[in-house]
């Protein structure tokens, strides 16, 4: 069964970090690993529409992956 975490917050950074903690923390997924982050860039729409990734959220996720010990990050 899949586990899902969602968190709404005025701060995208705080919301993402809280949601990751709800999953038990990012370290258990990325520590010592090569991590591929698949972003949604297929639509020419603003991030607020949900049609494409929010650059702020992506930056926070990549920073947190590094902090949690990811050996290599690949974004595609």
pLDDT tens profile 3-15: 999 999 999 999 9
Residue 40, judged by CB atoms within 10 A of its CB (0-12, 13-18, 19+), counts as: exposed
Query: What is the pLDDT at residue 42?
Result: 73
- The answer, yes or no, to whether residue 29 has pLDDT greater than 80, is yes
Rounded-to-integer distance, Cα 10 and Cα 42, Å: 26
Query: What is the pLDDT at residue 46?
Result: 84
Mean pLDDT over 40-51 rounds to: 80
Query: What is the pLDDT at residue 33?
Result: 99
For the chain, which residues make up each domain, given as ranges? 12-75
Q: What residue has token string 């992956």?
A: 65
Predicted TM-score (pTM) of the model is 0.87
Task: Name every residue whose Cβ is closer than 8 Å to that of residue 69 and which is 6 or more positions away in sequence.
Answer: 27, 30, 31, 32
pLDDT digits (tens, 9 = 90+) for 62-75: 999 999 999 999 99
Rounded-to-integer distance, Cα 15 and Cα 47, Å: 16
């Amino acid at each position: 069964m899949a586990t899902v975490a969602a968190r709404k917050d005025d701060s995208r950074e705080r919301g993402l970090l809280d949601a990751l903690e709800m999953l038990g923390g990012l370290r258990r997924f990325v520590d010592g690993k090569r991590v591929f982050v698949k972003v949604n860039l297929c639509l020419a729409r603003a991030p607020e529409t949900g049609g494409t990734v929010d650059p702020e959220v992506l930056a926070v996720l990549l920073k947190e992956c590094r902090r949690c010990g990811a050996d290599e990050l690949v974004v595609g």
